[in-house]
Structure 1
Amino acid sequence: MSTRTKPQPLSDTEIRRIATEIDAGKPPMVWFTAAAVGVPEGRSGKVMSLGDPSEGDFLQVKPTGSKDVLSFGPTEVTLTKPGRPTPAKPTGTTPKTATRKESTVSMPSPVTTPAAPSTPAAPAAPAVSSTSATPQAKPETSQPAAESAEAKANKPAASRPARNAANAAAAKKPKAAEVTVTLSGTAEGEWTLDVVNGKKRTIKGLPVASSAVAQAAKILHPEFAEVVDSIHESVRAAQQAKVAQLQAELESARRLLEDLA
């Protein structure tokens, strides 16, 4: 009777190898073991990303021929490609025939003895029944432990399809584009606006009035309004000085014109 060996989990070296190939842009190929839930044993797939190992099912694998990315544990996949099964050779036939021949040779000795129908044959039966009763009691006592082990194994399997469906839905959900708004000001009180939607610049160098900037700053945040007010105050002072200078030059020009007249 052949027994199936329990699949060995991926080693730390194999997990580091998978992470290196993912970083290089080459998702590694893996094959599903008998412990995989929802996927036949021997089917191939590609590891698209790695999650937190503390979660258990941290390998995000895309099975071959499927569009969904599902979660699996380190015992459910392997980097070793399974080989083709070979028919088992009929071993052990010669020892069986040899034992049968020995048993047939030893048979005549109890037949020829005259004490075969003696009474000691009766107690031999209960001796056999007593020994056969003890192994029957052991499977009954171990049955709850086997059932509890099966129940524990089925609990994460029942929740895994829901988690895989959630991961597939999150992967298909489109990501919202990021919008960047930049407001630039000069010492002369000139303001311009730039808007970048995702990777595309939709607005570039749009002139904005100083009064509109001051009003928006008061609505957005007090600290922002304080910064804008200080800039406007310095620009206002510079413009007043410039006006006074121009007025003085104008008066000087008028006096010179009157003298010439």
Structure 2
Amino acid sequence: MTAPTAEAASAPGDEEVPATTNGQGTNGPETEAAEAEDKPKRGARTKSTAKKTRTVELTLTVTGTLDGAWQADLLHGSTRVVQGLSVPAAAVAKAAQELHPDIAEKIDEVITAAREQHESRLRELEAEVAKVKQALADLGEES
């Protein structure tokens, strides 16, 4: 009597699995051992080469007017830490120089415009003071 073949022993709809595989699509124990060496074991920690840094979100807003008044607001995330803090124009200019030349250039333009406006107002006031002094002098001569 002959032994049944693999074809005869299989049920309808069953696929034939080659003798060199375990039905998992691998090529046997040699390949499984090599793949196990390549993959880290579950739960095993591998050292990351990425630098772990913690970032902090701070938003500094400095606003200025042509009158030369500057103020700062500071946000930490979405929480306002400082609001409406008066800042001298010289400090703003110095900080801008430290940050970047492009920033310093734009801020210097605003500060220069404010300086020119104040100098113009000063000339107007000096002219007015001169007129008032002249008027006082004229009144003094008449008495």
TM-score by length of 2: 0.67
Residue ranges of structure 2 left out of the alignment (5+ in a row): 7-16, 47-53
| Alignment pair present for 1:213 and 2:92 | yes
| Alignment pair present for 1:190 and 2:66 | no
Identity of aligned residues (%): 28
Equivalent position of 1:235 in the other structure: 114
Structure 2 Cα separation of the partners of residues 161 and 190 of structure 1: 62
Equivalent position of 1:86 in the other structure: none
* Aligned match for 1:142, one of 8, 14, 18: 18
Structure 1 Cα separation of the partners of residues 124 and 65 of structure 2: 22
> Highest relative contact order (Cα 8 Å, sep 6+), 1 or 2?
2
2:116 maps to amino acid: A
Question: Which aligned pairs between 1:89-108 and structure 2 lie closer than 5 A?
Answer: none
**Is the alpha carbon distance of 1:160 and 1:208 closer, same or farther for their aligned partners in structure 2, counting shifts above 3 Å?**
farther
**What whole-Å deviation, never above 9, does each CA across 1:200-243 have from its counterpart, x for those lacking one?**
11111111111111111111111101101111111111111101
Structure 1 Cα separation of the partners of residues 63 and 138 of structure 2: 48
Residue ranges of structure 1 left out of the alignment (5+ in a row): 1-126, 136-140, 167-174
- Secondary structure at the counterpart of residue 233 of structure 1: helix
Equivalent position of 2:42 in the other structure: 161
Are the equivalent residues in 1 in contact too, given 2:66–2:117 (CA < 8 A)? no
**What whole-Å deviation, never above 9, does each CA across 1:42-74 have from its counterpart, x for those lacking one?**
xxxxxxxxxxxxxxxxxxxxxxxxxxxxxxxxx
| Alignment pair present for 1:247 and 2:129 | no
1:245 maps to amino acid: E
Structure 2 Cα separation of the partners of residues 149 and 191 of structure 1: 76
Query: 4+ residue stretches of structure 1 with deviation over 4 A?
Result: none
Structure 2 Cα separation of the partners of residues 230 and 198 of structure 1: 30
Structure 2 Cα separation of the partners of residues 176 and 232 of structure 1: 33
RMSD: 3.1
Q: CA deviation at 1:180?
A: 1.3
2:60 maps to amino acid: V
Structure 2 Cα separation of the partners of residues 160 and 185 of structure 1: 60
Structure 2 Cα separation of the partners of residues 241 and 207 of structure 1: 24
Structure 1 Cα separation of the partners of residues 81 and 28 of structure 2: 61
**Is the alpha carbon distance of 1:227 and 1:257 closer, same or farther for their aligned partners in structure 2, counting shifts above 3 Å?**
same
Greater share of helix residues, 1 or 2?
1
Equivalent position of 1:50 in the other structure: none
1:203 maps to amino acid: V
Equivalent position of 1:81 in the other structure: none
Count of aligned positions: 116
